[in-house]
Structure formats: C-alpha cells, structure tokens
C-alpha cells in the first residue's frame, strides 16, 4: 500500500509538471503577444485582433493549470502556528483529514466545471471577437482541478500512512 | 430560491427571490423604476413573493449574470446581452447602426421581435425574460479631439461594447478597443483610448463628464439589456403569482425601462451643455457615415443567414417597427 | 437560522479553519460555498463554486498580476535587481534603513501607477526582499516595507477604488483623485519614519552599509540603466496612457527578458525557473482571490455588511462617535472583504448618513481607503502578507504579520491625523472647487 502511494505520488508529479509546462508556455505566449499588439497598434496601425480575449483565456487557463503543482509544493498559503505545536501523530491525522476535505471540495468543483463546459457545448458559446469556442478552456480547467484533487488525495494518503506508522 | 427552508422560502406560497444586478445603487433604474416594479409584484401577490436586491455585482459579475440566473445561482438578474458573448446573436440586431433612435422604441422592437420570432425566443429559453429593453442611442464621446467628419475618426482608438459594434467602428475607420466600462474613466483620462461610443446617461452614471470634452451625436445604435428569471423558480410559482408577474412585465414595462434611459439621457445632455461640446451630424454627414457603415449590416445578415437564422426578416421587421413608431 | 446567524457562524468557522492549517484559499471556498448553499440552496452554492472562480481567473484586469510578477522574476534571476540595490546601497546605504525606505518609495510609485497592489507586492517582494537580505536587513523589516509601500497605490492617482467611490457617491471624481495626493505622501513619510525609528531601536535589523568611494557610486549607477529603461518604459507608458496596466506588465516582462538576453544574464535554466515560479505564485494568489470572491458573495447574501452599517448608523450618539464606530466597522469588514466589494455593499447606506452628520464626502473617501487598506496587512485575510509569504518561504506567516504591525499602526496614526486636521485632505479639492 505504502509503495503504491509513493509510486502514485511520483507518477502524478509528472502529470502536474506537464500541466505547469503548458502553463509556462501560455505565460510566455502572452508576454510575446501583448507587446506585439502594442507595437502593431502604435507603429503599424494594426493591432492584434482579439488580443484582449486571448489574454483573458490564457490567464484563466494558466492559473488553473498551475494549481496542482502549487499544492504539490505546499505553496497554497496556510497558517501553521497551532499545528506546529501538535504532536507528530496528531498533526498527521489532522493533515490527512484536511487533504481529504480539499480532495472532496475539488471533486465537487470539477464536476461543476464539467457541467458548465457541457452547457457551453450545448449553447455553442464562443469568445467575443475571435469566436473561439469557450468549452475546451472550461474542460481544461476542470481537468486541472481534477489533477489538483488527486494531488490532495495523494497527500492525504501519505499523511495517513505516517499517522498509522509507528513513530 | 424555492427549495430551502432556511431562506424562508420553503413552500410555493411564500417565496423570496434573490435579484442580482451589476448596476450601482446610483443607477436610475435601481433608484426608482425597479424597486417600484418589485413593490408592485409584492403587493399584488399579497406578500407571497418578496424580492431581495443585490447591487453592484455583489452576487454575480456583469458578464456572469445571465448564466448565474439560468443555472439558479441567483433567481433573477439584470445585465447586458452583449456581455454573454454569442448567447444572443439575433438580439444583436440592435447593435447594428441606425435601426432606431430611442430607448423606448428599441425596447418595443426587442419585445416585439421576441414575441414574433421563435428563433429569438430560443436565445432566452433557459430563462424567463421579464423585461427586454434598450438604451437611448449611443453617441461617440471623445476626450481631447472632436470628431466632426470621417477623416477625424480615422485611426482613433474608440472603446466598443460588443463585437458587432467593433465591426462597424472599423468600417468608420476607427480602431475599436475592448474594455470594461469600469476602466473607462481612467482610460479616457490617461488617453489609453481616444474616445468611447456611449449612451449619454453614462455621463452621469459613471461620472464621465469630467473626462469627456466632445460628443458627436449620430444616434448610432441602442445597447440591449435583459431582466430574466430562473425558469425553475418561475415555474414553481403558483399560476396566480405567475399571472401577476406576467401582467406587470413584458412590453409595457420594457418600454418604461427604455424611456427612463431616454429621460436620463436628455437630462445629462442638458446638464453638461456647458462643459461638453455636442456636435450633431447633419443630414448630409449622416448620409456619408451611413454609407460607410452599410457593409456591416450586410456582414451581419450574411453571417446570421449562414447560421440558419431568418436574419433578413428580423432586420427588416426591426426597421418596420421603428417606422411604425415614428 | 437567519442569514445573519449563518454569516456569523461562517466567519467563526473560517477563522478556525485558518488556525488549523487549512489553506487560506480553500477555507474561503468551503465556507463561501457551504454558507451560500445554506442561505439559498445547495444548487446555487454549487453553481457559484464553478462560475465565480473561472470568471475571476479570466478577468482582464487581474491578468496584470502574472505579467508584473514575471517581470520581477526575470529582473531577479538575471541579477538586474541586485545591481539596482547595489546602487541604492552605495548612495543611501549610510542612512540606517535606507534600503527599506527606498523600497517603500519604489513600491508606492509602482503600485499607484500600475493600479494593482497584489502585482506590486509580488514583484517588489521578489526584487527587493532577497536583496535586502543580502545586506543583512531583518526579513521582517524588509517584508514590512514592501507590504506598506504597496498599500499607498489606491491613495495616489490614478486609483480605481477612488473612481468607484465617486461613482457610488456622486462625489466629483477629479476632486477625489486630487484629494488622495497629500495624504498619500504623508502616509509614505510616516512609513519611512517608522523604518527610521525601528532601525534606531534595533540597529541590527538594518545595518549601515560600507562607505563607498565616489567612483564606486558612479559605476553602480551606470549598471542600473536596464532597470531605468524598464521603469521609463512601463511606468512612463502607463502614465502617459500608451497602454493598460496589463499591457505595461507584458511590455515590462518582455523588456526585461530582452535586456537580460542581450546582457547575457539569463540562462535557459533561469528562464524556466522564472516562468515556473511566476505561474505557481500566480496560482496561489488567484486561488485566494477566487476564494475571496466566493466568500464575499456569501457575506453579501448574509446581509451582515448592510445590517451592521445600518445598526451603527442608527445609534444615538455624537457625529464623531458615530464616525469612529463606522471606521471600526469598516476596519472589521476590511479584515474579510476586498475594498471595492466593501464600498458597493455599504456606501448606499453609509453615505447619506455621513452627509446628514455633516462630514465631507471627499474627505471620507480618503479616510475610508486608508481604513480598508489596513486589512491588506492584517490577519486573517491579509493578502499582501500572503503574497509576500509566497516568496519569502523560510519565515512563518505569523512572523510577517507581526513584523508588519508597526506599519498598521502607522496607518492608524495617519487616519487620526486626517480626522484632527481634515484640511490636509480638503485643501487641494477646495482649490479645485475654486
Ligand atoms: Na493609484
Ligand atoms: Na486582513
């Protein structure tokens, strides 16, 4: 069981890395796109059509894609002062519960995002000027939240093992 | 909400409706017209329906309001159709230039089209529209440079509220810029945009009189707004209560909402007569602008027809209703 | 249960979750969603759980955050930030606390013009804190100067929150914007004084730099041209209306990328690190902002903000007492809610009352922005501190909160000064009124 969790967490790490890689590309992309738009606008009177909505779509997507790895590195801010003073086992029990609650919340959120995406497919909703379909971006957000959820589940399992193990 | 005991709305004869609006409390419609309308509903249903108002995007962002109402995050909501991307392709007929020149008429056109065309009703089928209304005509407001001719507008960065409007602004030679209205004051002050296409009531509503120096009056188009109710909530009401809502909503209420824009607009133009230079395009100039814009109308009709909509009929009918009202 | 009761329970649960190490963002999500579901119904709570985060994440005005952070990361990884602080140290290093004071000033300019406190705080934290650490500054003082400097933004024009206040109250926006200038400068001076006193009391927290020869001083300046160029490009471009804050962020990030490339200071590895750190920090900040939006929808539907302000407005006390009670209410709301949300929820109730009590609307706008700002630096929801702790990972958050306390007191001091001498606020707008 313990080995399975370790393998799972390591494998999962690769998935979260891959998502972050795409996220980085998007960030780099808008860093290039926006100056291009500004230059086009001022020097050639030819702005990039849809620069604004591309920026919105890219920002939204890059945020979701990076949520999981941020959680993996424990970078979603939390306040430690009480937990720090708890005995190790109690702390692991608490963290098992917290991570599991996070997992549940995210699964619910993922389901909601998916049903939103389905709704958008139904309606054929597209973005303003470029008429890009919106649903793939919501889907991607949903998938990112799922990955985030599984990172939390993995952590929960890890803490559970620590809590159960003899310390 | 109709399902929850906690909100005191447990049974169908005692329902609280959560109404979400992006408008601030200072907005004309939220000061008088809508509160009166809600009071009337409450009175005529003998208190079985109560409406709680949440303003200023506190429950739903302007561009989320339609979805939030359709999905039931709120029970009722007001916003602009143009915020919901392409949810309302046929409604955007009023985004086309020179369809009509008053809010009241725009509202009558909207509601009539809604009643006459099933394709138009389809756009709203996830909700129950109570009011469909249009603003007074949009004019072009600029900060530093007046626009009196097509040469003047060439290359100017003009904020546009929707893709359709952006399209014909380009035919006029302007560079349309997308931007939320909340950022407009700053953008005009700093010169990020040279101007904005605006209905005149926003001069007061968003305090833009401080940064706008010139207005070119051409009565270009009317933006569209909706007040819709969540379908499930509506259907859960008793027949009697639904009848009350129906009788108070619809064409007459829509016209009132549009007319309120017309009134506020006139007041704003009178109030700022001194500070702002209003330039009215004369007959001849209007003709010139009209022919420059013309292709945008064909674009719209072609695109909508391609998607299987009776676009030509809808456009023609809109003009016809406007003519009847003149 | 009444919606107010649910609201109060929600706040208590939120604090408990914070205390027991549930991530801040997740706590906001959970309490916001469950609370909204209890007051309305489960379906609507669940709808908010999906639509609000997506709409927050894809809002154009927030896209300024990752771009400015990326600029800060590139500046930091390419050592351009180091050159900047080296120059500041050679000129101001002899003044105790000089680096921290400079940081406050730079943050103030950055924040006031970019319009984003979060973007400023993150960028400056990345550029300034590691540098101050190299000069053996106390991390608490370094964090405090970054956090405090950032909060000056809304006071100094341009300022979105001032515009929103003007729209909600019909006070003239031009006068409001002008009114913030002198208080902003006074507040900045008080912040710097705090650093000065802090450095006097605890000299170890801000060591005096070595004396530099004039030649060294000049050569240090000659190395900061890339930074200077970037500053002129982004801040100048913004100020003169060439582009929006988001565009300024992208131009700044792109500019620093190009400069780092041509000065051969950016390896492939560091670029990857800069991008990865930016996206992770952005994810952290946005998850809190999303949670804060959901929580704020819950609080508005609980009607606590409007009930509490109505209550205070109706007590039968002297105008000054009511004013102070009102400011305390705003302080408490500021602990949990974002500034614009507070204005929207309370102004329709509070503003008519203030007029009735005879207070100047422009003056109150400035005071209120100061009060709301305090919340950025205080627990439980002090987003500036969370942003800093996302960068300075090796000290616990509670230590940063503690270190920033003097700055919070500085804001309170400034508010007291402005209540005693309202002319400080009204003199410029009065000149405008003629
Ligand atoms: Na500012
Ligand atoms: Na706070």
**Span from the CA of C290 to the centroid of ligand 1 (angstroms):** 23
Q: Minimal CA–CA distance to C209: which of C129, C97, C89? A: C89
Q: Locate C84 and state its tokens.
A: 């900047």
- Contact (CB, 8 A) for C245 and A55: no
For residue A20, the CA-to-ligand 2 centroid distance in Å is 30
DSSP letters of B233-270? HHHHS-HHHHHHHHHHSSHHHHHHHHHHHHHHHHHHHH
Residue of chain A whose alpha carbon sits nearest to that of B82: A128
Residue contact A45–B175, C-beta within 8 A: yes
Q: For C295-348, give the DSSP string.
A: HHHHHHHHTHHHHHHHHHHHS-S-HHHHHHHHHHHHHHHHHHS-HHHHHHHHHH
Chain C residue with CA closest to A127: the answer is: C58
Three-state DSSP at C366 gives helix
Q: Quick check: B233 pLDDT over 70?
A: yes
Q: What is the pTM of this model?
A: 0.90
Report how far Cα B130 is from the mean position of its chain's Cα atoms: 14
The confidence score (pLDDT) of residue A123 equals 78
Reference B24, options B63, B53, B51; nearest CA is B53
Residue B9: per-residue pLDDT: 41
CA C373 to ligand 2 center in whole angstroms? 9
Task: Give backbone dihedrals phi and psi of B311, rounded to 5 degrees, phi first.
Answer: -65, -45
Nearest to A123 among B87, B162, B179 (CB): B87
- pLDDT value of residue B2: 39
Q: Which domain holds residue A63?
A: 2-164
| Residues 236-295, chain C, touching A (beta carbon < 8 A) | 242-243, 246-247, 250-251, 253-254, 257, 272, 275-276, 278-284, 286-288
> Each residue of C293-310: b (16+ CB within 10 Å) or e?
bbbbbbbbbbbbbbebbe
CA-based end-to-end distance of chain C: 54
Mean pLDDT of C186-192: 96
In the reported structure, the alpha carbon of residue C336 is separated from the centroid of ligand 2 by a whole-number distance in angstroms of 6
Give the pLDDT score at B3. 40
Task: Examine the pLDDT at B230 and tell me if it is beyond 90.
Answer: yes
Touching check for B52 and chain A: CB below 8 Å?
Answer: no
Distance, CA B107 to ligand 2 centroid (Å)?
A: 45
pLDDT digits (tens, 9 = 90+) for C136-149: 999 999 999 999 99
Q: Give per-residue pLDDT as tens, B255-275.
A: 999 999 999 999 999 999 999
Secondary structure element (H or E) that encloses residue C280, with its range: helix C268-302
Distances in Å between the Cα of A155 and the Cα atoms of A93, A149, A165, C23 are: 12, 10, 15, 14
For the stretch C56-75, pLDDT in tens is 898 888 888 999 999 988 98
**How large a percentage of chain B has pLDDT more than 90?**
73
pLDDT digits (tens, 9 = 90+) for C278-326: 999 999 999 999 999 999 899 989 988 888 888 888 888 898 999 999 9
Q: A112: distance to nearest CA of chain C, Å?
A: 6
Which residues does chain B have within 8 Å of residue A53's beta carbon, measured at their own beta carbons? 178
Residue B244 tokens read as 């009350």
Q: What is the pLDDT of residues B23-74, one digit of tens each?
A: 888 888 999 999 999 999 999 999 999 999 999 888 998 888 998 999 999 9
Q: How far is the CA of C372 from the centre of ligand 2 (A)?
A: 9
In chain A, what is the straight-line distance between the N-terminal and C-terminal CA atoms, in Å? Answer: 18
B contact chains, 3+ CB pairs < 8 A = A, C
pLDDT of residue B85: 63
Average pLDDT over every residue of C333-341 = 86
Return the residue in A78, A116, A148 with the most chain C beta carbons within 10 A, the one to mutate for interface testing.
A78
Over 90: is that where the pLDDT of C172 sits?
no
Task: Summarize pLDDT for B274-290 with one digit per residue, the tens.
Answer: 999 999 999 899 999 99
Residue A33 has pLDDT above 60, yes or no: yes
H/E run at residue C357: helix C339-357
Instruction: Express each pLDDT in A52-110 by its tens digit.
Output: 889 999 999 999 999 999 999 988 888 877 888 889 999 999 999 999 999 999 999 99
Task: Quote the mean pLDDT of chain C.
Answer: 89
Which residues, numbered 183 to 242 in chain B, qualify as contacts with chain A under a Cβ-Cβ cut-off of 8 Å? none
Q: What is the pLDDT of residue C352?
A: 85
Asked if A79 lies within 8 A of C19 by C-beta distance, the reply is yes
| Contact (Cβ atoms closer than 8 angstroms) between residue B175 and residue B156 | yes
Mean pLDDT of A117-144: 86
Structural domain count, chain A: 1
Residue B53 has phi, psi (to 5 degrees) of -100, 135
Q: How far is B144 from chain A (nearest CA, A)?
A: 18
Q: Shortest Cα distance from C176 to chain B (angstroms)?
A: 12
pLDDT-derived band at A121, boundaries 50, 70, 90: confident
Question: Are the C-beta atoms of residues C92 and C337 closer than 8 Å to each other?
Answer: no
**pLDDT band for position A167 (50/70/90)?**
low
Chain C: touching chains (3 or more CB pairs < 8 Å): A, B
Contact A79 C24 (CB under 8 A): yes
Question: Does residue B6 carry a pLDDT above 50?
Answer: no
- Contact list in B for residue C44 (CB cut-off 8 A) is 1, 71-74
In DSSP terms, B157 is beta-bridged to B175
Tell me, what's the ipTM? 0.89
DSSP assignment of A8-64 equals HHHHHHHHHHHHHHHHHHHHHHHHHHHHHHHHHHHHSS-PPTTHHHHHHHHHHHHHH
Q: Which helix (H) or strand (E) holds B127?
A: strand B127-134
Q: pLDDT digit string (tens) for A132-161?
A: 888 999 999 999 999 999 999 999 999 999
C-alpha distance from B85 to closest chain A C-alpha (Å)? 5
Q: Of B71, B86, B175, which is closest to A47 when you measure between CB atoms? A: B175
Question: Residues of A with CB below 8 A from B179's CB?
Answer: 52
Q: How many CB atoms lie within 10 A of CB A107?
A: 17
Q: Between A8 and C372, name the one with better pLDDT.
A: C372
Cβ–Cβ below 8 Å for A27 and C279: yes
Rounded percentage of chain C residues whose pLDDT exceeds 70? 100
C10 CA distance to ligand 2 middle (Å): 16
Note the pLDDT of residue C434.
66
Residue B308, by phi and psi: left (phi above 0), alpha (psi -120 to 50) or beta? left
| Distance from Cα C376 to the centre of ligand 2, integer Å | 5
Contact across the interface for B85 and A134, Cβ inside 8 Å: yes
A42 to chain C, any CB pair closer than 8 A? The answer is yes
More confident residue, B316 or C341: B316
Chain B residue closest to C2 (CA)? B6
The answer to whether A63 contacts C276, with C-beta atoms less than 8 Å apart, is no
* pLDDT confidence bin for C214, thresholds 50/70/90: confident
The pair of structure tokens assigned to C426 is 């009204």
- Answer whether A138 sits within 8 Å of C47, measured CB to CB: no
The confidence band for B4, taking pLDDT boundaries of 50, 70 and 90, is very low
Q: How far apart are CA B268 and CA B265, in angstroms?
A: 5
Structure confidence at residue B13 (pLDDT): 59
Mean pLDDT over the full length of chain B: 90
Residue B190 has its nearest CB partner, among C3, C241, C345, at: C241
Q: Closest partner residue to C278 among A27, A42, A76, by Cβ?
A: A27
Domain range list for chain C:
1-58+285-302, 59-266+303-433
A5 to chain C, any CB pair closer than 8 A? The answer is: no
């Amino acid at each position: 069981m313990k080995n399975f969790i370790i393998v799972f967490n390591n494998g999962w790490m690769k998935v979260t890395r891959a998502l972050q890689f795409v996220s980085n590309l998007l960030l780099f992309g808008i860093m290039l796109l926006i100056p291009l738009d500004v230059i086009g606008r001022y020097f050639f009177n030819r702005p990039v059509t849809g620069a604004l909505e591309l920026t919105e779509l890219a920002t939204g997507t890059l945020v979701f894609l990076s949520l999981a790895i941020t959680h993996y590195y424990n970078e979603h801010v939390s306040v430690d002062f009480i937990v720090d003073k708890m005995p190790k086992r109690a702390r692991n029990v608490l963290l098992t519960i917290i991570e599991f609650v996070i997992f549940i919340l995210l699964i619910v959120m993922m389901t909601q995002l998916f049903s939103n995406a389905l709704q958008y497919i139904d309606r054929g909703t597209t973005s303003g000027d470029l008429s890009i379909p919106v649903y793939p971006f919501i889907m991607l957000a949903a998938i990112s939240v799922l990955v985030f959820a599984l990172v939390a589940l993995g952590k929960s399992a890890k803490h559970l093992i620590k809590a159960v193990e003899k310390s | 909400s109709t399902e929850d005991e906690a909100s005191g709305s447990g049974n169908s004869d005692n329902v609280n409706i959560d109404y979400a609006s992006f408008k601030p409390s200072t907005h004309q419609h939220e000061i008088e017209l809508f509160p009166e309308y809600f009071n009337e509903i409450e009175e005529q249903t003998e208190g079985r329906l109560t409406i709680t108002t949440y303003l200023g995007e506190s429950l739903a962002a302007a561009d989320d309001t339609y979805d939030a109402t359709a999905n039931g995050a709120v029970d009722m909501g007001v916003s602009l159709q143009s915020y919901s991307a392409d949810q309302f392709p046929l409604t955007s007929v009023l985004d086309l230039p020179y369809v009509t020149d008053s809010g009241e008429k725009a509202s009558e056109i909207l509601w009539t089209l809604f009643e006459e065309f099933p394709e138009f009703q389809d756009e709203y089928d996830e909700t129950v529209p109570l009011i469909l209304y249009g603003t007074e005509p949009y004019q072009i407001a600029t900060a530093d440079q007046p626009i009196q001719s097509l040469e003047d507008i060439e290359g100017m960065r003009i904020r546009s509220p929707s893709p359709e409007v952006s399209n014909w602004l380009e035919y006029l030679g302007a560079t349309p810029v997308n931007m939320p209205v909340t950022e407009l004051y700053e953008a005009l002050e700093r010169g990020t945009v040279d101007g904005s296409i605006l209905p005149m009531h926003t001069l007061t509503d968003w305090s833009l009189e401080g940064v706008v120096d010139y207005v070119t009056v051409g009565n270009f188009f009317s933006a569209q707004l909706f007040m819709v109710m969540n379908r499930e909530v509506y259907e859960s009401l008793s027949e009697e209560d639904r009848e009350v809502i129906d009788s108070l909503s619809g064409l007459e209420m829509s016209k009132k909402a549009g007319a309120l824009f017309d009134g506020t607009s006139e007041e704003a133009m009178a109030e700022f007569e001194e500070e702002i230079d209003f330039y009215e395009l004369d007959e001849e100039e209007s003709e010139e602008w009209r022919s420059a814009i013309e292709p945008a109308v064909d674009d719209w009709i072609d695109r909508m027809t391609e998607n299987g909509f009776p676009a030509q009929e809808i456009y023609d009918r809109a003009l016809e209703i406007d003519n009847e009202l003149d | 249960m009444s919606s107010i009761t649910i609201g109060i329970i929600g706040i208590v649960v939120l604090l408990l979750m914070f205390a027991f190490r549930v991530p801040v963002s997740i706590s906001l999500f959970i309490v916001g969603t469950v609370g909204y579901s209890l007051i309305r119904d489960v379906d609507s709570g669940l709808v908010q759980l999906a639509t609000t985060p997506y709409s927050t994440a894809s809002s154009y005005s927030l896209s300024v955050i990752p771009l400015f952070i990326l600029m800060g990361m590139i500046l930091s990884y390419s050592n351009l930030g180091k050159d900047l602080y080296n120059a500041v140290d050679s000129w101001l290093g002899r003044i105790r606390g000089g680096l921290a004071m400079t940081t406050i000033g730079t943050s103030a300019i950055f924040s006031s013009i970019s319009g984003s406190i979060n973007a400023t705080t993150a960028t400056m934290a990345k550029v300034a804190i590691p540098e101050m650490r190299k000069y053996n500054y106390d991390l608490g003082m370094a964090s405090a100067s970054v956090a405090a400097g950032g909060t000056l933004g809304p006071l100094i024009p341009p300022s979105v929150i001032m515009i929103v206040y003007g729209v909600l109250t019909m006070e003239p926006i031009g006068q409001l914007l002008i009114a913030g200038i002198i208080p902003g400068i006074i507040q900045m001076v008080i912040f710097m004084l705090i650093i000065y006193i802090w450095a006097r009391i605890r000299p170890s927290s801000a060591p005096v730099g070595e004396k530099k020869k004039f030649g060294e001083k000049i050569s240090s300046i000659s190395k900061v041209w890339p930074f200077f160029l970037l500053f002129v490009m982004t801040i100048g471009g913004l100020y003169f209306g060439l582009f929006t804050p988001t565009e300024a962020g992208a131009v700044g990030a792109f500019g620093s990328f190009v400069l780092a490339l041509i000065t051969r200071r950016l390896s492939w590895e560091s670029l990857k690190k800069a991008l990865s750190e930016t996206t992770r920090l952005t994810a952290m900040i946005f998850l809190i902002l999303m949670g804060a939006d959901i929580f704020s929808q819950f609080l508005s539907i609980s009607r606590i903000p409007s009930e509490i302000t109505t209550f205070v407005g109706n007590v039968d006390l002297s105008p000054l007492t009511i004013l102070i009670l009102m400011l305390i209410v705003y302080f408490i709301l500021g602990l949990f809610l974002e500034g614009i949300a507070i204005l929207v929820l309370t102004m329709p109730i509070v503003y008519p009352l203030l007029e009735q009590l005879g207070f100047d609307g422009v003056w109150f706008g400035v005071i209120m922005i100061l009060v709301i700002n305090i919340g950025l630096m205080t627990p439980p929801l002090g987003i500036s501190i969370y942003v800093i702790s996302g960068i300075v990972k090796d000290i616990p958050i509670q230590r940063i909160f503690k270190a920033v306390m003097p700055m919070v007191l500085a804001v309170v001091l400034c508010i007291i000064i402005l209540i005693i001498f309202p002319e400080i606020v009204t003199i410029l707008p009065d000149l405008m009124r003629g």
